[in-house]
Each structure stands twice: as structure tokens, then as C-alpha cells.
Amino acid sequence: MADNYSTFADLYDSLFDLDLYQAWAAFVRERSTACPMIDLAGGSGRLGVLLSQAGYQVTLIDLSEQMLGLAAKHAAENDVHLDLIQTDMTADWGIPDQFPLITSFADSLNYLVNKQQFAKALMQVYRHLRSGGRFLFDVITPYQVNVHYDNFMYNNDDDPEKIFMWSSFPGDEKNSVDHDLKFFIYDERLDAFKLVREVHHEQAFPLTDYTQMLKQAGFVNIQISADFGKQPVGSDTARAFFSAEKA
């Protein structure tokens, strides 16, 4: 898998809605007690910091060296400790331990481009969960991809020296989307704007497919909800939240 945040991890992190991390943290706290855990594809560590402050012992796994650098920075700023591991979620994580809790949020699993990759990631999750351990995660749904992201455009020029443009287009695969992300950063040395651009590809599957893949991996007690666990899923659910246990 490519490092999707290689050029603008800090810019991405600065734009993200911090209230969402509070909501994800509440979702986790409501379904677990403070324990050793893995935050898979934990990015800049915002969620890991919140959970550490709530008493969890967080091991954060991410592919991006730049994101892990931000995670270390945020942990130091908040006087908490995060164990940081750089690896691909579909490969051997290189961790001998098993944990009672593994989480993965913020579309992270939607970056797995096919069911084979998703199955590989699930195999690693199952391997590193204790018996009876819980896997909590979310994914954007085909409804989000095909309706909300259908030729979606968003421009943010609140900061005249840091202009952000986000455009989304249907991907080549069914239920997929490509996000064209552009930052225009003012460079005083050039007296001009510098373009920083990346394209991100996300893949969604029907919720029944996720359930089937979880069962095939050995998970039981699979529960699906919407709105951070507050509502049942429906045909117009944009983000689905899963809770599954290792048999």
C-alpha cells in the first residue's frame, strides 16, 4: 500500500474536525473498559491521545512515517505515552502480544482496495486479539460513496495563505471513490502559491459483505450501528460502526 499522507500529513491533520475524535473516543469507552489496545491506522494519534488520557494503554499502528511523527508530537504535548509501530495493516505487524481491544476508524479500512486486502487485515486483527477480545471500527458505506461523494466539491479559503480544495469522483471499481486533494500554500521566498496535491482512493462494500468477511475470519457477536452507535443502520447510512468479538 502506498503512503497516502507522504506530502501533507500536517496539513491533513490541521483540517480534521477534532469533535469527531471525541465522538470516536466515546464510542470506544461505551463498549470497553480501559485496557491495553491497538489503534490500527491511528494516523496522527489524536484518538490515541484521548484514549490514553482515559486510561487505555495505546499501541498505535500506521503506515505513514509522517503521521507517526505527528502522533509522537501530540502525545508529548499532552504528556501521554503511545507505543508507535510503522507497518502495513495487511502484513505481519511484528507484535507478539494479544490485546483485549483493537480499533480502526476514520475510513482507514476503506483504503483497502479489495476484499482480499480486507481479509488480510482482518486476519491480523484476529491474530492479535485475545479470546473474547473486541474489534471496533467504522467504514463509509456505498451510500456515502455513490450519493454524498458523487462529484462532491469543497473549497476552504478561510486562511488566505493555506487554501484547500477537495473534489471527489467515482472510481473505476463499483462503490469506490477518488478524492483529489489540493493545498495551495503561500511561499514567501517565491511570493507565490505552491501546490501540494494527492489523490486518495477509497472502496466501500455492502454491509452484508463486511458481516460475511468478519464471520469468515472467525468473529462472532457482530453488531452494526450508525451515528457513532446511537442509531440503527438504514438504507441512507453514510458511516457504519461495527463491533465484533473474537470467538
Running DSSP on this structure, what letter comes out for residue 96? -
pLDDT at 1: 40
Q: How many CB atoms lie within 10 A of CB 117?
A: 17
pLDDT at 108: 96
Is residue 96 over pLDDT 80?
yes
3-state secondary structure of 85: strand
- Partner residues linked to 134 by β-bridges: 101, 245
Tens digit of pLDDT for each residue in 6-23? 446 777 776 678 899 999
Tens digit of pLDDT for each residue in 147-159? 999 989 988 777 7
Tens digit of pLDDT for each residue in 100-147? 999 999 999 999 999 999 999 999 999 999 999 999 999 999 999 999
pTM of the model: 0.92
